[in-house]
Every structure is written in C-alpha cells, then in structure tokens.
Amino acid sequence: MLLIALCGALVVGGAIGLIAGLRKVPVHDGVPVRRRSAVVARLMKLDRQERIFAVVGLVGGLVMYLVTNWTVLVVLGPLAGVGLPILLSTSGAGYTIKRLEALEEWIRNLSGVLTVGAGLEEAIRHTLRSVPPEIRPEVTTLVSRLRARWGTEDALRAFADDINDATGDVVAASLILGARRRGAGLVSVLESTAQSVAEDVRARREIEAERAGPRATARWVTIITAVVLGVLAFTGDYVEPYRSFLGQVLLTGFLAAYVGLLVMMRNMSKGKPMPRFLGEQARQGRVAG
C-alpha cells in the first residue's frame, strides 16, 4: 500500500513539476539567486481558507480510503483540497479592475484640487483624505515619499511601480509631465487621462465577462464529474479495475492529466497584461532591444 501511495505522489509531483517547467520565466544575467519554486512558494503562503480545504481534502481522502481501500486517495485528497479551489476560482482581474476604477476616481479628485490653485505635490497630499481604499496604500506611500524629500518624478515613478499596471503608467506619466512643465493645462490633461482610464475599465469588464464563461463551465464539469465518480465508487463495479496497483497508477495519471488541462484553460482565460512603459522591466526591455 505504501508503494502505491508513493507512486501516486511521484506521478502527481511529476505533473506539477512539468506544469511549472513549461511556464515561461524571465532569464536573469549575473550571479544566480536561489529562490523557492513558484509551487513551493504558493504552498508556503496558504491562507486560512486554503488550509481548511487541505484538511477537508485529507479527511475526505482518508474516509474514501477506508471505504474503497484506495491508498492513493490519501495523497490526492489534500492536493485536490488545495489545488482545485485555486484552479477553479474566479480570476483576479476583478480586483485589478476595481483598483483602476479607484485610480480614475483619485485622478478626478486630484484634478478638482488643482483647479483651486494648489501645487501638484500639495494637491496629492490633500487627496489622501478621500482616496479610495483600493489604492490607499499606494497613495499613502507616494505622499510619504514626497514628505521625505523625494524628487517628484522619482516618487511618481515609484508610484507607477506600486500600481504595476500599464494604465497606472499612463496616469503616472501624465503627472510626471505636469511636474516637469508646471503649467495650467495639467487639469485638462488629468481629466482626459481619467476618461481614458474609464474607457479602459469598461473594456476590461467586457473582456472579463467573456472569459468568465469557460471558467464557469470548467467549474461545473469538475463538480459533476467528482459527484459522479463518488457515486460510482460506492455503487456498481465501474471503478473496480482501479483497485489494483496498475489501476491506481493509471487513475492518478488520468487525474493529473485533467488537472493539467485545467491549468492550461486557466492560463488561456487569464490573458496577458499589457506591457508597461515605465519601471525597471520596461527599461530592461529597451536595453535588450
């Protein structure tokens, strides 16, 4: 039985390693730095809900093992408890969209403060009182840097890195140009930038609505498949061939292939973020080009 569990763990670990190995990673020059793999780092950062899912998966695997005598379920239970909620969860694009909406609101508030004759740095400090909570940490850090005698352009570039989005770069670039020119046209520029951000948010919402369909389909197919397999495990002889050593190895391979398809589908539905034109990565890209 221990040999079966070990084989199952090796197959699942190999599948995870294959998925991690196929991911594109940036190539760094110079002295290599030892870092945890993405999978290990993700497992080390499990939140309370994910730990509960892992425990539930372990308990479920143990119960299924006692009923079906399938040792491999002891290994697959916790992996399914942690992995499936992550794979089938909604995309993080919704949070990004909320941050961009907050950025639009902050830009409009900033342009309103500038209309009363305040300087750019003073106007940024005044908006801290009414900044939306989604970007409050970034704006608070920006104000702290300005109070610490950072150069305005350097602080705004660091702000763009904190937002870490191409649309955030557009906002930061508008503020940087306003800091350089110190003209009266900055208000109209910020209003135009806010309108551009609003259009970007609207487009992203439409794209995210289209991408939500395949994720919902995969979620329901997985739930229905799990229920059907669970019922078949207790009734009939349909899963009887999988009780043998070879059957459990094949079952683990089939499940690993299914998880791999879920990973591929999730990566396809996420899409690629627009490239940034501010920040360290953008500068490295220009040098490489």
pLDDT tens for 34-57 read: 344 444 555 555 566 666 766 777
The torsion region of residue 182 among left (phi > 0), alpha (psi -120 to 50) and beta comes to left
pLDDT average, residue stretch 157-176: 92
Task: List, as one string, the DSSP characters of 222-263.
Answer: HHHHHHHHHHHHHSSSTTGGGGSHHHHHHHHHHHHHHHHHHH
pLDDT at 258: 82
pLDDT average, residue stretch 199-218: 84
Q: Which amino acid would we find at residue 135? A: I
pLDDT in tens, 119-163: 889 999 999 989 999 999 999 999 999 999 999 999 999 999 999
pLDDT at 127: 92
Three-state DSSP state, 126? helix
pLDDT at 277: 83
Q: Is the confidence at residue 286, as pLDDT, over 90?
A: no
Q: Is the confidence at residue 183, as pLDDT, over 80?
A: no
pLDDT > 90: percent of the chain: 28
Confidence of residue 287 (pLDDT cuts 50, 70, 90): very low
Question: Mean pLDDT in the chain?
Answer: 76
More confident residue, 30 or 151: 151
Which pTM was predicted?
0.65
